[in-house]
Structure 1
């Protein structure tokens, strides 16, 4: 969710991770879904592009993580519901960027990645949406300028895969989507900027991992349940996705909604956390 929030900011869609969490856990529609026509695209479509860019063949961890998330919320279906036009508008540029950024690199360095990013950024083009005609209260017709779109957010989606393709990382790291809003004039400047941003993202990721491990360590050790009970798994799930709803619990733990509700009640008694 932090990756989606980072990319959304680059796309001009400021959204908090808590709002994304509410959507993923089934407590609300996508963030900004009712905020008018000024957004360049829907958050649902953007989240779909972020996840789609992180699909990597042969990466079992990434595949398992994505499959688990899609049991909570299917980004593909959400994008079709809330952002069908965005899939068409940005789809071609998304695929072109993915193809170019996955091509072989001359060296496993940030400089090589920066050079490729600047090349692809210069190549990408997204057709502007046509101007709109509006009628004023006094009967006049106004023509609103066509909407144009930046593409740095799109490159950010693919940055984790580009770092992997260059040999800079050994697997997809979802949080490594941290491009600046302006790429700069030279590849060397961009490489220096990337070095700092990736370092900050890695440090933030380690802190988040420490927090999750502390939550796990503080879970009750003696639950008084059998080995087959899903209660320990649910309590870890709730630590990772606070506020998760009963239907999502049922899908993830592969139990009936009635069983999920009963399990949630047991967890409330153990931890005092409402579902």
Structure 2
């Protein structure tokens, strides 16, 4: 049994106070990123001393919180969970921005602010946010180039830096336009929409295994041989063009949402 005296506790407190702020922020950030219960552990760390309280309030710590590990809180204390998501989205946390963006776009009919939050998450490397944002923009029309760029981000296709830090597609290395990563992101995106809109309507039954890309106004369905056909023993397909791929994903994703939810995004 170890007895902690007042002098020992005071010595430990003085050591914490002696930490540079940047080091305290790094400690708090590691807790946020690696703890199995980051919200509770950060609360305890915040209460330990003034130095850690200041460190835990740093926006960089909020951005590193592994929010997906707090999923159980959604069912045990939904109000607290939503408050945490709102606070972390303000700090730029990618997962919180994704969840808030989905809720705004699909549950609250606020497509523009929802797209802005999804864009923040996508810029931080959140692939599911990039997937949803691509489809929302493509369905709304007028932003097809941006939508294609986000689908390329999802698939991790070769790209090279453009002028001004932008994104330039490298066509030479993009010989196979598959939707392998889109299939994985689609399942997570549908689950996120279901979580955000469960009070509105239940998701419909799964769509058939093969869904043809929808016909756009003024165009025709793709007639290229093998376009959209699944690879053997795989859940993903190969497409003849970027437009065919994104139209296919629009059909697959929005057909899994009830009309009362999918029609919010126009």
TM-score band, normalised by shorter chain: under 0.3
Kindly indicate which of the two structures has a greater share of residues assigned to helix. 2
> Looking at CA atoms only, which structure, 1 or 2, has the larger radius of gyration?
2
Q: TM-score, normalised by structure 2?
A: 0.22
